[in-house]
Amino acid sequence: MYKKIITLVIFLLFNFFIFTSVALADDYFDADLHISYSINGDGKTSVTNEITIENKVTEKYSLQYNLNLNNINLSDLKAIENGHELNVIQNKDGDNLTLTINFDDKVVGKGKKRLLEIIYTSNNFARKSGEVWEISIPKVGDAGSYRDYSISIIVPKSFGNEAYISPNPGTVSETENSLTYVYNKKNMETSGIVAGFGTFQVFSFKLGYHLENTKNKYDPVEISIPPDTSYQRMYYTNISPKPVNIVTDKDGNWIAIYNLKPKERIDVEVSGDVQVFANPRKYLTPMPIELFANLKPQKYWEVDDTNIQNLAKELKTPEAIYNFVTQNLKYNSAKISEKTQRLGAKAVLFDKQNAICMEFTDLFITLSRAAGIPAREINGYAYTENPQIQPLSLVNDVLHSWPEYWNDELKAWVPVDPTWGSTSGIDYFNKFDLRHFAFVIHGVSSESPVSAGSYKLGSNPQKDVFVGFSQLPTDRHEDITVTGSYSKTFFVDRKVNLKLENTGSVTVYNTSIKIYFDNNHFEDIGIETLPPFGNYQKNLTIPFSLLAKKTPKVIKVEAYNKSIEIPTLHNQDLLFQIISMFLFFIVVIFTSLVKINKKKHARIH
């Protein structure tokens, strides 16, 4: 009598990623697995598991197949063998669902095969987050138990362009309506598959800042608000109270300036939307001197250290540096606290088990700079469903830190995330996701400006960062108001104050001011960046001249397709000078006549 043996068990664990594992009696069976995930336009996925079980010996055969699903809601379940539908027994225990299929016949004999299909549909594999369709496909756990396995993912083209996919598939094919990504053992031995489809993601945000002037005099206080970058575009709807101005610093940060009274406290609220792009857009290209500043050593970035230098010479490229950081540093979640000490690159090389996102970022930046690759730090918000796999390590409002390096071929700063690459096993070097929202850039300095979420007062600071999925705002216009005033002084040079203010929701780039004196071109002024709620002011000197010969009658200003005319005091100047000269001559003549009259009287006497 043949001995009965079973069991083929597949465990599906779904948290942020879904993992599968299989237990096979390798001495008795060979198993091949192919899983097809066919996703429709609504995100519903039809899953087909094709399992081929081949007997390696004569006296053993399988009688039962068990499939364990965790946190998976399924429908339309069926199991098929040789065109015959088998009964499926479902046993649910909490979030765990066990499917048991008993085979109706015996497949006996060495080399004999049993082909089983388990088919079901589920909404757990694809979902729309904001403007992006995100797909999570399980890792095949205990992959060594399979002789061979493969996965195919069929994605409708209605999802949009591929924003990111990791790891890279073995092959990609397309039809009129869909794309098919095929993976085998070599493509996905270490991780599951994550992908995003869509050109961009949109987040809405509301940020709080708590400011105080502790001095006994008026004092300017600055805050950093999220800026435009190659990978994101800002749409601001409110900054309250309104700042005196918003300017850009050397790293491209947007700095809002407030002039606080002595001992004054204010709460600032900033809100709007951010559009995060899958690929870098055309943006401002930094000057060579600005890139050079991103090669220098800073606190925590000990570029000149001997160990750092030697390691950088060995690694050489951004990808090699990324791989070294992700493979050598270990994330220590126990380190997260308000008193977390930032180690810096030099120290973490000797304490590799004690890193959080700051150390992953610091080491990547320092090694890159030592290798002659400009690099900088980004602090900001990163969306995650599972902080254990995608941790957020900055204490203030649970923010995140990641690096960027300068890609001279793309002429763009390229973001990577070695922290998430290390903790999730996903490639965050070759393809970035649409979940990172930059608040501040640290290039010239490793510590400033301070990120949103860090402007706290008091011993019990409240939450100040609120971010959620959104859609592009309907109001995303550019607008500039142009005003000018003319000082009314006499016998001295006059001043004309020109002011351009961005009253729109987006930044205006590379605009210019053209100034004309009586239709004669006088000066051009270029403005590279004018953020929302920001302004540019220029004082023009109008020289005082005899008979107003050098004083224009009208100053014309053209900026951003708008034109204003500022009347001057030309005619008043001319009239005043003529009257003054007339009075002067009258006085001179009168004085002369008086003197002549006095001389006549003197001769008579």
Where is the domain boundary, 174, 197, 220? 197
* 272 and 140 co-located in one domain: no
Q: Which strand ranges, in their side-by-side order, compose the sheet holding 562-567? A: 520-530, 508-517, 554-559, 562-567
Give the CA distances from residue 197 to residues 19, 48, 137, 280, in Å, rounded to whole numbers and listed in that order.
Answer: 22, 22, 14, 16
* 554 and 429 co-located in one domain: no
Q: Domain holding 193: CATH number?
A: 2.60.40
pLDDT value at position 507? 93
* 135 and 43 co-located in one domain: yes
* 29 and 59 co-located in one domain: yes
pLDDT value at position 460? 67
* 373 and 323 co-located in one domain: yes
* 62 and 169 co-located in one domain: yes
Is residue 373, in this structure, part of any structural domain at all? yes
Is residue 92, in this structure, part of any structural domain at all? yes
* 383 and 244 co-located in one domain: no
| Total number of domains constituting the chain | 4
What is the sign of the dihedral through the CA atoms of 329, 331, 332 and 338?
A: positive
User: For residues 29 and 54, is the Cβ–Cβ distance under 8 A?
Assistant: yes
pLDDT mean by block of 10 residues, the chain; 605 residues: 32 32 60 93 95 87 79 91 92 88 88 92 91 86 78 95 88 95 81 86 95 91 96 96 96 96 94 93 86 96 97 96 96 78 94 94 98 97 79 73 95 94 89 92 96 83 89 86 77 78 92 88 91 92 72 85 81 71 84 78 66
Is residue 603, in this structure, part of any structural domain at all? no
Distance (Å, rounded) from C-alpha 397 to C-alpha 464?
7
Q: Domain holding 422: CATH number?
A: 3.10.620.30
* 218 and 322 co-located in one domain: no
pLDDT value at position 569? 67
pLDDT value at position 5? 31
The position carrying tokens 């092959």 is 171
First-to-last alpha carbon distance for the chain, in angstroms, is 166
Where is the domain boundary, 277, 306, 328? 277
Q: Per DSSP, which regions of 62-125 are E strands?
A: 64-70, 74-81, 84-86, 88-93, 96-102, 113-122
* 211 and 128 co-located in one domain: no
Residue 447: count other Cβ atoms within 10 Å of its Cβ: 11
Is residue 591, in this structure, part of any structural domain at all? no
Q: Per DSSP, which regions of 416-534 are E strands?
A: 436-442, 465-469, 480-486, 494-502, 508-517, 520-530
Q: Domain holding 514: CATH number?
A: 2.60.40.10
Nearest to 437, CA basis, from 235, 187, 590, 145: 235
pLDDT value at position 15? 35
* 294 and 401 co-located in one domain: yes
Q: Return the biggest CA–CA distance within the chain.
A: 166
Is residue 589, in this structure, part of any structural domain at all? no
Distance (Å, rounded) from C-alpha 7 to C-alpha 441?
55
Q: Using alpha carbons only, what angle is made at residue 12 by residues 155 and 79, rounded to the nearest 5 degrees?
A: 75
* 89 and 208 co-located in one domain: no
What is the sign of the dihedral through the CA atoms of 176, 179, 180 and 186?
A: positive
Is residue 593, in this structure, part of any structural domain at all? no
* 185 and 220 co-located in one domain: no
Nearest to 180, CA basis, from 158, 154, 161: 154
395 phi and psi angles, rounded to 5 deg: -65, -45
Which residue range is the domain that position 487 belongs to?
480-570
Where is the domain boundary, 440, 469, 498? 469
pLDDT value at position 492? 62
DSSP labels for 242-305? PPSEEEE-TTS-EEEEEEEPTT-EEEEEEEEEEEEESSPPP-PPPPHHHHHHTTS-BTTB-TT-
Is residue 577, in this structure, part of any structural domain at all? no
Is residue 600, in this structure, part of any structural domain at all? no
Number of DSSP helices (H) and strands (E) in the chain, helices first: 7, 38
pLDDT value at position 580? 75
User: For residues 211 and 266, is the Cβ–Cβ distance under 8 A?
Assistant: yes
- Single-letter amino acid code for the residue at 537: Q
pLDDT value at position 393? 66
pLDDT value at position 18? 35
